[in-house]
Structure 1
Amino acid sequence: MELKLLYLLLVLSFLGVDAAVFTLQNRCGNTVWPGIQGGEGKAPLMNGKGTCLTGDCGGNLECSGAGGAPPSTLAEFTLDSPVDYYDISLVDGYNMPVSIIPLGVSSSCKTSRCLSDINQACPEGLQVRKNRRVVACKSACLAFNTPEYCCTGEYSNPQTCRPSNYSNVFKDSCPLAYTYAYDDPSSLFTCEGADYLIRFC
C-alpha cells in the first residue's frame, strides 16, 4: 500500500474559552498520514514513526515543530483571533487535494478547497517523481530559489511580488488556494464559532 503525507499547519492561537474541533476525513484511495503542527508554545501531538512519499519529517510522523518537507499541501488555521482565519496554501508546493469545510455555522463561513490533481499538470521543472510517477509539485520558489519566485529582497511586497507563470498553474487548478506570498484576496477565509472538517481528496 502506498503512503502519502499531507502536512497540516494548525496555528492554534486560542484567545477565547472554547476550542474548535477538527475532524479529518480520508476520501483518497490510499493511506494518508496527516502531519499536524501546533502554534508556538502548544504541545505537539504524538504521531509515531514512519516514512511517507511526500511531506516527510525525516522518518518521524511527529515533526517536532519543524514542519514536513515540502512540497506539500497545507491547511492553515489561526483560531479565535478574534475570528478564525483559514486557508489552503500551495506556496510550498502541492501533494494532494484537500478541503476545509466549516461545520455548525451559517453559510457565511465558506468552504476552501483544492480538489484538482495538480500533479497531472505540474510543469516538468517542478515535478517530484517516485518510480517515474509525479507524486508532488514544487513551488517555483522551492524549485528555483530566486527572489522573484520567493517574494524576497526587492520582491518582498505586494507591489513587486506578482503571480508567475508557475503560480498561475496552481491558481488555474485551485482558484481558492494561496499560490504565492501575497495571494490573500481570493484565498484567505474567516469564520466565527465553527468546527472544521478537513477532507483529503
Structure 2
Amino acid sequence: MSLSKLLFFTLAVCLTACSHAARFDIKNQCQYTVWAAAVPGGGRQLNSGESWAIDVAAGTKGARIWARTGCSFDGSGRGHCQTGDCGGLLQCQAYGAAPNTLAEFGLNGFNNLDFFDISLVDGFNVPMDFSPTSNGCTKGIRCSADINGKCPNELKAPGGCNNPCTVYKTDNYCCNSGNCGPTPLSKFFKDRCPQAYSYPKDDATSTFTCPGGTNYRVLFCP
C-alpha cells in the first residue's frame, strides 16, 4: 500500500473510531430539584424524575458531572447555588465549588480506555451512582450513604459535608507535597463509600475503566 493510501486508510479508520462521542444520561432521582452541571456540557435544572443527555467528544480529559443544590437563577442564567456553584452561571464553564459529589472521567486514554470515578475529594452534597451502560462494561460505582446526616461537626457545610482538605488545606489532607495517606477524617468518607475517592492519593480502590466508546449513566439519589 502506498504511503498516501495508508494515510487515507488511517484517517478513515480514525474518523470512524476516534470521533465517537460518549453519551452520558444524567437523571435526578432525588425528591428535590437539582441543577445538573457538566464540564464540558454546561448545566440544566432537573426536577425530580427529569433527565438530561449530553454527548462528550472522544479524547476528553479532566471532565466532571455533579449536582448543584439550592440554586436561584435569573432569566439570563446568572445566580447562585448553595452547593456546587460554578461562578454563578447556570451553564457551567468551570468546576463547581465544594462541597459537591463528583463524577469524574477521561475518555480514550491509555490503551484506549475510559477512566472514571466518584470523588469525595471536594466533599459530598448529593448521593450518586456512576455506571457504564454499553460496550459489555458492567462495573459501576455508587455512593449513596447518608454522609450529610452523619457529617462530623468540623466538616459540616450548608447543604453538604466538606472534605477535610477544603477545611484545613494542609499537606496531610490535601497531599500537596505528593506524600500523604488516609486520615481518620478521610476514613469517614471511605467507610461509607468504599468505591469513592476519599483523599487525593486514594487511587487503588477508586479508579475504574471501560473500553473507549462506552456510554454512561449518572444518577443523583440512586
Aligned to 1:185: 204
Counterpart selection for 1:140 from 137, 151, 164 = 164
Report whether the alignment pairs 1:24 with 2:26. yes
Q: Distance in 2 between matches of 1:189 and 1:103?
A: 14
- The aligned residue for residue 108 of structure 2 is 80
- Once the two structures are superposed, what CA deviation does each residue of 1:72-129 show, in whole Å capped at 9, x if it has no partner? 11100101111110000001111111111111232x5411111112101111000013
State the percentage of identical aligned residues: 45
C-alpha RMSD of matched pairs (Å) = 2.1
Q: Report what 2:83 is aligned to.
A: 54
Q: CA deviation at 1:60?
A: 1.1
* Residue of structure 2 equivalent to 1:68: 96
Q: Secondary structure at the match of 2:124?
A: coil
**Does the residue aligned with 1:171 lie in a helix, a strand or coil?**
helix
| 1:17-71 deviations in Å (ceiling 9; x for gaps) | 211101011110111111111257x9xxxx9334222011232122323x11111
Residue 171 (str. 1) matches residue 212 (str. 2): no
Q: Which amino acid aligns with 1:103?
A: T
Aligned to 1:36: 38
The TM-score, its normalising length taken from structure 2, stands at 0.72
**TM-score, structure 1 normalization:** 0.79
Distance 2:115 2:84 in 1: 23
Q: Cα deviation per residue 1:117-142 (whole Å; 9 max; x = unaligned)?
A: 2101111000013xxxxx21111110
* Gapped regions of structure 1 (runs ≥ 5): 1-14, 130-134
Question: Which structure is higher in helix share?
Answer: 2
Which residue in the other structure is 2:125 paired with?
A: 95
For 1:148, what is the secondary structure of its paired residue? helix
**Higher relative contact order, structure no. (Cα contacts within 8 Å, ≥ 6 residues apart):** 1
Contact residue 140 and residue 149 of structure 1 kept, 8 A: yes
Aligned residue pairs total 171
Residue of structure 1 in register with 2:53 after alignment: none
For the residues of structure 2 that align with 1:97 and 1:105, how far apart are their CA atoms? Answer: 25
The CA distance in 1 between the partners of 2:77 and 2:116, in whole Å, is 27
Which protein is bigger by CA-based radius of gyration? 2
Aligned AA (2:196):
A
